[in-house]
Amino acid sequence: MSNLVLVVWFVLLLTFVGFSGLYYFFMRRFSLRQWNVKRDKDYRPMVTILIPAHNEEKVIGLKLKNLMKLDYPKNKLQIIVIDDGSTDNTLREIREFQKAGSAITVEVLVYSERMGKSASLNLALKNAEGELVVVSDADCFLSSGVLREALPFLSDPDVGAVTGLEVLLNPETSWVTKTEKSYNDAVHTIRIGESKVHSTILFQGGFGAYKRSLLDQFDVQADDSGTALNIVQKGARTLLLPEAVYFTMFASVWRGKFSIKLRRATQLIRLWFKSLRLFLDGTLLLPKKIFLPESFLYLVNPFVFICLIAFSTLVMVKYPVFLVVFSAFLFGCLLFKRVGILFVELVQNNIILLLAILCGVSGRRFSFWSSSGSARSDFGRNLLESKGLI
């Protein structure tokens, strides 16, 4: 019986750590391949850019200046800002920008009561005139060539939506931002690999471009990622493009990171449960080689983590010497910076996923997106100017 405990513990450890690693290396191989997409570099459709905003007085003016830098025909751009029940000076900042005049007209839709990101976007969608609809959060700044890089992919009839590569403006601010950068690098590799296999449905709000013909509405359950899944279910591909870059600040303290991660995790849990239901119904169009490992990582691995903790306690009691030796080995591995960061992120993310699952079971939902003050307060004109973003 004692030996069985040790065997089970070892299997759980290999599953918890090894499965994530294997999937990373599996997708890394695909990420290095060429795109199997038809691209028309001269594709220049009408584009509507939607900017959802709630209490964004610190960044909305800078965001609008950033959009004026886009390398795209100005007569083919429609910009709509949605003021979703802001209680600060967001609307005043938008009005001042409008009065100053610009090469592109900025429209604003004002809602007195807060509805949430997807709900406000769905109302704004009725005013979208573009063949393509782009969504970009107020605290994310687009590279000037993002449309030029991304839109040729959407000229392919099989591609329904694309998202971009997130680059942190403050990667060296603290250990929190340093670990987030390393984590992002690994995740981006996986998402690019999935995109080259078929699709990634893990979209973020910094930059997402959708074909209007496939966009009935934005998903209110899982926001950007849920919308990407809906596009896939219509028979189109959804891609992450490393060529399409956007920039943002990330929370520099762990409390801010935890809040962001928990909010995202609750959406992703709903996303993969929805995918699971479609899979069991036999209607999921996302390939199994993507769905099965991803759903395992989000829905099963957190419970593997719980079992691993439980059996680690048993092993500590029955084999104290062995556990000391293993702990020393693990500590040695963690001294390698990248390995240590990814392991810590793996543990932390599974704890957050467990909390997200508990929130879902208890009925608690994070239906509104919120500003991370610790990140947004760090935005500065000089930093954005130094990056050529305004």
Per-residue three-class SS string for 38-107: CCCCCCCCCEEEEEEECCCCCCHHHHHHHHCCCCCCHHHEEEEEEEECCCCCHHHHHHHHHHHCCCCCEE
Average pLDDT over residues 18-31: 95
Helices then strands, each counted (H, E), the chain? 15, 8
What pLDDT digit, counting tens, does each position of 243-252 carry?
A: 999 999 998 8
81 vs 160: CA distance, rounded Å: 23
381 falls within a domain: yes
Rounded mean pLDDT, 329-358: 83
Residue 367: band (very low, low, confident or very high) from pLDDT cuts 50, 70, 90 = very low
* Percent of the chain with pLDDT strictly greater than 90: 73
Residue 366 has pLDDT above 80, yes or no: no
Which CATH number covers residue 220? 3.90.550.10
Containing domain of residue 137, as a range?
1-385
**Confidence (pLDDT) at 371:** 52
Confidence of residue 373 (pLDDT cuts 50, 70, 90): very low
Of 200-209, 273-282, 308-317, minimum mean pLDDT range:
308-317
Q: 152-161, 162-171, 252-261: which has the minimum mean pLDDT? A: 252-261
* pLDDT surpassing 70 at residue 71: yes
CA dist 289 and 197 (Å) reads 9
Q: What is the pLDDT of residue 7?
A: 87
pLDDT at 241: 98
Mean pLDDT of all residues in 327-331: 75
Which among 375, 323, 72 has a CA at the least distance from the CA of 206?
375
- Structural domain includes residue 4: yes
Checking if the pLDDT of 376 tops 60, the result is no
The DSSP string of 276-311 is HHHHHHT---S-HHHHHHHHIIIIIHHHHHHHHHHH
Of 56, 142, 205, residue with least CA distance to 390 = 142
Each residue's pLDDT tens digit, 29-41:
999 999 999 999 9
Does 390 map to a domain? no
User: Which residue would you say has higher pLDDT here, 25 or 101?
Assistant: 25
Output the pLDDT for position 315: 83
**What number is the average pLDDT over the span 343-351?**
90
Mean pLDDT value across residues 169-187: 91
Structure confidence at residue 337 (pLDDT)? 72
Of 15-19, 128-132, 200-204, 377-381, which gets the smallest average pLDDT?
A: 377-381
Work out how many domains the chain is built from and give that number.
Answer: 1
Asked if residue 19 belongs to a domain, the reply is yes
Q: Residue 270, Cβ neighbours under 10 Å: how many? A: 19
Per-residue model confidence (pLDDT) at position 2: 66
How confident is the model at residue 374, as a pLDDT? 47
